[in-house]
Structure 1
């Protein structure tokens, strides 16, 4: 059973990843964990990864277990380390998603999901809930226990995907955005100006291929995207510097930073 673990614990060699894998294997001995780290508290990046992994073809039985829980649902002091509730989504691909409904974690899959429900597990009781409380609940859901799920998550309890934002930064420094490719008005090869956080650079609109020259900044449909349950394809615009690092070029912007396309 393939189990993607998407979390903000730090690098994949961090102790937290090891502890969570150990606990998941305790309850799901056949689990084959794959670790995907995202920046601290970056629910938008987590949500992007969840959709990219969950809405594309995957082996039967695949589970995405995620935990990016900034505990920002309330600002007051918390009793027993309470935080955002554990949720569950069943996607059209058959992939099951289990994780806290924090920020934008479920935003990319909320409309595509065939089932979106709360998990029947307390939201409080441990500082490290994704190790101490959630793996057993995830295993119960994975094994189809009838009492593992609670009520349906109502519309409005998961926010929409924010527009024109950086959603993910890959290892090459490519900036994956929440700008839909089919909404762009620029022809391939047209010059564009991009601004992120006060830093502005010229780029070339592309068609998703390496049609720009070495050292040239491109604004083009990227490699990330998926098809929803109605068969509609979504592709996202990406900013990349051929032979370089777009993230460095724009002075290391953060997840959620706005991208402006200037005329």
Structure 2
């Protein structure tokens, strides 16, 4: 069984090592891999979850996400209370378990995935992903459904925004259609940065040094009718697009200017 952890503590961080040890005890048969995202970055977490959940892989794979900035309430929180844990079983058999914080579950929900609350304490530990959640995760992996409660509704994913920045500095976005015909040069603003970008039908279909706005490698089935939703990507050939745009945080709007 492949178990992927999407979290905002780094792979080399003590926190991940502790979570990994706990999971090894509860699910010794699982091959655990990790996807780190920036601190409190629920948009990147949600994008990664959708890409991995809908992508090709074994049907018995499990995705466990914990990015919990505890920003759902502004008031002081007693006993380290935080956002609720939710779960979903996709028709393919893929199990997703994670904290419903910000946009972490929004890309899934936008595709009609039904989320249900998981009956675990919402408080009691500052480190819930080690002390509270793994036991529930293991129970759900074993097929125990008695922990599942009421349906949970989350807000939509941010549209036409930065969704994830990969290791090359390519900006994967929540644009799912071209902003202009292929071959058109447009001005794109992300945060305070503005650059000229060529709309293309492929990220490498621009000369070295140019910036492309093109369908990238990420996307998933959409609408249940065989269509595919492809994420448009801002790619600087031979350069770092994220750096050119001031390293914008996920969730920052990607705007085209006339």
Q: Which TM-score tier does this pair reach, normalised by the shorter chain?
A: over 0.9
Matched length: 257
Deviations 1:170-203 (A, max 9, x none): 000000111112xx24222111111111211111
2:192 paired with 1:198:
yes
Residues 31-53 of structure 1 show CA distances to partners (whole Å, capped at 9, x for unaligned) of 11110000110100000000000
- Please give the TM-score of this superposition, normalised by the length of structure 1: 0.94
Native 8 Å contact 2:221 2:227 kept in 1: yes
CA contact (8 A) 1:6 1:66 kept: yes
CA distance in 1, matches of 2:223, 2:2: 22
Post-superposition shift, 1:166? 0.6
Q: Structure 2-normalised TM-score?
A: 0.96
Q: Displacement, 1:208? A: 2.2
Q: Which residue of 1 aligns with 2:48?
A: 49
204, 228, 236: which one aligns with 1:233: 228
Match of 2:212 in 1: 218
| Mapped partners of 1:228, 1:207: distance in 2 | 20
Alignment partner of 1:171 is 2:167: yes
Check the 8 A contact 1:203/1:217 in 2, yes or no. yes
Which ranges of structure 1 fall in alignment gaps of 5 or more residues?
none
1:53-72 correspondence to structure 2 within 5 Å = 53-72=52-71
Q: CA deviation at 1:79?
A: 1.4
- Quick one: distance in 2 between partners of 1:180 and 1:4? 26
Bigger mean CA offset, 143-152 vs 40-49: 143-152
Deviates more, 1:67-76 or 1:106-115: 106-115
1:158 matched to which residue of 2? 154
1:113-144 alpha-carbon deviations (Å, 9 max, x no partner): 55421111111110000000000000001101
Aligned to 1:26: 25
- Which whole-Å CA distance do the structure 2 matches of 1:151 and 1:67 have between them? 20
Contact 1:8 1:42 in 2 (8 A): yes
Q: Tell me, what secondary structure is at the counterpart of 1:202?
A: strand
User: C-alpha deviations, 1:51-90, integer Å up to 9, x for none?
Assistant: 0000112212100000000001111111110000000011
Shift of 1:27: 0.9
2:5 aligns to what? 5
Q: Structure 1: how far apart are the matches of 2:66 and 2:113?
A: 21
Q: Distance in 2 between matches of 1:146 and 1:73?
A: 27
2:176 paired residue among 167, 180, 183: 180
CA–CA separation in structure 1 for the residues paired with 2:215 and 2:223: 21
Q: Distance in 2 between matches of 1:77 and 1:61?
A: 39
SS of residue in 2 equivalent to 1:54: helix
Distance 1:173 1:209 in 2: 13
Aligned residue runs from structure 1 range 31-42, under 5 A: 31-42=30-41
Q: Which residue of 1 aligns with 2:257?
A: 262
Report the CA distance between 1:229 and its aligned residue.
6.1
